Amino acid sequence: MKELIAVIEDAMRPLVTRFGLHVIRRDDGRHYAAVLYVNATTGLKVAVEWMESRPFLTIYELEDGQIVDENPPIHPGNERWKAFDVDGLLLIRPVDNSPVGKMFSRGDLKVVSRLLKRYADALTEQGDDVLTGNFQVFQQLKELVMTRARELDKLN
């Protein structure tokens, strides 16, 4: 979906410019598109999944300039986590007109663009520290994920 890649890149342009991000990979398929960005310290993956009707944004702490594990952890562990869903960041640091939990109609590129621009604005407002290499909030994000995992375990 070349047009979806273009929508992602257009929506993220202000964030890319402000934080010195550059594209290291583009993935596209029939129902999916993603762009992976990095700067000297931080990675950002922006993916749109038509079947899920929502975007997925992930932030990464780079290790020696590389993304160590592209998928955020889902199981508790003692090791330091280096990847988190942007929605978690925006839950602990709320913004007006939050994009968290918003969905779109399949194939509606204009709605996708508006939603991704809201994510870019929210990250500019609440993710400045992470996008410039300060990952202190990652411990709080890990605690949020672990709390949610414990709550899900209680339900099962």
Q: Read off the tokens for 49.
A: 């999944």
Q: What is the pLDDT of residue 120?
A: 97
pLDDT (0 to 100) of residue 74: 62
Which residue is associated with the tokens 């992602």? 8
For 98, other C-beta atoms within 10 Å of its C-beta total 16
- Taking the model in full, what pTM does it have? 0.91
Residue of 1 and 23 predicted with greater confidence: 23
Amino acid 73: pLDDT: 66
Query: What is the per-residue pLDDT for 78?
Result: 62
Integer distance in angstroms from the first to the last C-alpha of the chain?
Answer: 38
The average confidence (pLDDT) of the chain is 91
Could you tell me which residue, 38 or 147, shows the higher pLDDT? Answer: 38
